[in-house]
Structure 1
Amino acid sequence: MYTSAICGFCVAAKTFLKSQGLDWREVRVDLDPAEREHMVARARRTSVPQIFVGQTHVGGYDDMMALHRQGGFLPLVQGAAS
């Protein structure tokens, strides 16, 4: 997950993932301009968070929660873990 320090949606995304007992790797784009460029190239978006499950781009916090409400997020995570 690409994040920055001053981002309420990043905090919300991490809180949700933690509530589901999930681990994640955080990449702080505010600390490394090269990582921001990499995020934009991968996600084609400039906002944070940008959430990936494996190589699958989920999107931002709202996208992740919409996918979760549709019942698709946890199966995606479980599929990436196997």
Structure 2
Amino acid sequence: MTDITMFHTSTCPYCVQAERLLGRKGITALNKVNIEQSPTLRDEMIARSGRRTVPQIFIDGEHIGGFDDLVRLDQGGALDPLLGL
């Protein structure tokens, strides 16, 4: 099973879109980390991704990027192999 972690906030429309895209791919198990819950979680996201915006998505520990990066991977045909599809 593919391990997917998405750092997000509760008001981020791009986070919702990323989750929908993954859902269309059949991904039901998604580890969502709401960075609004703790400054430590935001710091962890920045340390792991080097970015301050949400969403930040990791597949099997590899930083994929944000929503735009996820879409580019999907459009280029590289997302399905990462998801094990």
Give the TM-score normalised by the residue count of structure 1: 0.91
**Amino acid aligned to 1:18:** G
Please tell me the root mean square deviation across aligned C-alpha atoms, in Å: 1.1
Cross-structure match for 1:74 = 80
1:1-82 aligned at under 5 Å gives the runs 1-22=6-27, 23-78=29-84
Q: Identity, % of aligned pairs?
A: 35
Q: Which runs of 5+ in 2 are unaligned?
A: 1-5
State the number of aligned residues: 79
Cα distance in 1 for partners of 2:80, 2:46 equals 25
Judging by fraction of residues, say which structure has more strand. 2
Structure 1 runs of 4+ off > 4 angstroms?
A: none
Q: Which runs of 5+ in 1 are unaligned?
A: none
Give the TM-score normalised by the residue count of structure 2: 0.88
